[in-house]
Amino acid sequence: MRLQIERFLTRLRAAKNYSPHTLRAYRADLGGFLAAFPDLESGEIDRSHVRRHLAELQSGEASRATVLRKASALRSFVGFLRSEGELRRDPFLGVPLPKRIRSLPRFLTEAEMDEILKASVSSAPGGERDRALIELLYSSGLRRAEISTLNVGDVDFLSGVVRVFGKGSKERVVPVGGDALKCLRAYLRSRGRPADGEPLFVNLRGLRISQDGVMFLVRRWIKRSSLLKKVTPHVFRHSFATHLLNHGCDIRVVQEMLGHVSLRTTQIYTHVCLDRLREVYQAAHPRGMR
């Protein structure tokens, strides 16, 4: 089965452009299934193996989201085996899965975001870079993986947009605000105006900043601000979407900017935009006006 897992991961990487992060997660999840059934051949997987594996996952300390992710990895692998003719029947057929609970995204208020953005730039090396990165995160709602892979030429300063390659290497164009563009110009001047093909954000050794590096810089910036909250790069993305919707931006436009394939993924933000919903209701409903 180990060989089939490697073939499956190669298929995901070559044909479906899965990210390295997703491939690592799938490898670990399938490795757990392999460890539970070390002598099992890939063509022998049946409902009893799936049920036992899910039961063991749910009896442990893993969260529901983790259990569902591991189940999804195994289900995708099973689908691959069936497409290859190794399995005739779907071992997931009739196996109940725990229901997914969609938690509301954590976001910052506009006042809290102002507190973060007005933090002073450090005089230490990398200060201009940190300011530009923070501004771009909030201005364009990018994922940390997308920030990490940006090149200098991906930012169009004339049009005020950035070209982003999101999940599955899907390309999209996202607007960049004036403050973020100003900070990016200052940062690139401090680097001696690098060529278009060079990484947009680099570490102190001049190498492309990693996803972990983006996380580190965000945490360090938050510590310098007066905000006493745990903030991750994804909180900037949630805040970006929430603030746009609160100010009347069409949800399909937000979907396009976030790079969501399904509108259902974007609709979760409507549940946190209560102020905007209340304003629309009061303005539109005959009995809603005070």
- pLDDT tens digits, residue range 165-179? 887 778 999 999 999
pLDDT of residue 283: 74
Q: Note the residue count of the chain.
A: 290
Active-site residue, selected from the candidate residues 70, 131, 237, 238:
237
The residue to which tokens 């972990």 are assigned: 212
Q: What is the pLDDT of residue 12?
A: 86
- Given this model, what pLDDT does residue 49 score? 93
Domain 2-83 has CATH 3.30.70: no
Q: Supply the mean pLDDT for the chain.
A: 88
247 part of the active site: no
Of 13, 82, 167, 208, which residue is the catalytic one? 167
DSSP 96: -
Q: Find the catalytic residue in 143, 144, 238, 276.
A: 143
Q: Is the pLDDT of residue 96 over 90?
A: no
Q: Where does the chain show beta strands of DSSP type E?
A: 155-156, 161-165, 171-175
Active site includes 51? no
Catalytic site residue 143?
A: yes
Q: Give the integer Cα–Cα distance in Å for 148 and 85.
A: 39
- pLDDT reported for residue 102: 67
Whole-number Å distance between alpha carbons of 20 and 210: 12
Residues 8-34, mean pLDDT to the nearest whole number: 86
Active-site annotation holds for 243: no
At 7, the pLDDT band (50, 70, 90 cuts) reads: very high
Indicate whether 104 pLDDT > 90. Answer: no
pLDDT tens, residue by residue, 210-267: 999 999 999 999 988 888 788 999 999 999 999 998 888 899 999 999 998 888 888 8
Residue 13 has pLDDT above 90, yes or no: no
Q: How confident is the model at residue 132 (pLDDT cuts 50, 70, 90)?
A: very high
pLDDT of 160 higher than 80: yes
The stretches of 84-119 forming alpha helices (DSSP H) are: 110-117
- In terms of pLDDT, which residue wins out, 279 or 202? 202
Say what the pLDDT of residue 57 is: 87
187 among known catalytic residues: no
The pLDDT value recorded for residue 106 is 85
CA–CA dist 68, 147 (Å, integer):
27
**Dist CA 230 CA 225 (whole Å):** 12
Q: Would you say the pTM of this structure is higher than 0.95?
A: no
- The pLDDT tens digits for 65-77 are 888 899 999 999 9
Residue 25, amino acid: A
pLDDT band of residue 6 (cuts 50, 70, 90) is very high
Listed as own residue / partner, the contacts of 141-145 with beta carbons closer than 8 Å and 24 or more positions apart are 141/174, 141/236, 141/237, 141/240, 141/241, 141/257, 141/258, 142/174, 142/237, 143/167, 143/233, 143/234, 143/237, 144/211, 144/214, 144/215, 144/233, 144/234, 145/19, 145/21, 145/211
Indicate the range of 17-26, 75-84, 107-116 predicted with least confidence. 17-26
Token digits of residue 187 = 């940062």
pLDDT of residue 184: 97
Spell out the domain ranges in the chain: 2-83, 110-280
Question: Active-site residue 234, yes or no?
Answer: yes
User: How far is Cα 274 from Cα 222, in angstroms, rounded to an integer?
Assistant: 26
Query: In the CATH hierarchy, which fold is given to the domain comprising 110-280?
Result: hpI Integrase; Chain A (1.10.443)
Contact 139, 237 (CB under 8 A): no
Kindly name the residue from 53, 187, 269, 276 that is annotated as catalytic.
Answer: 269
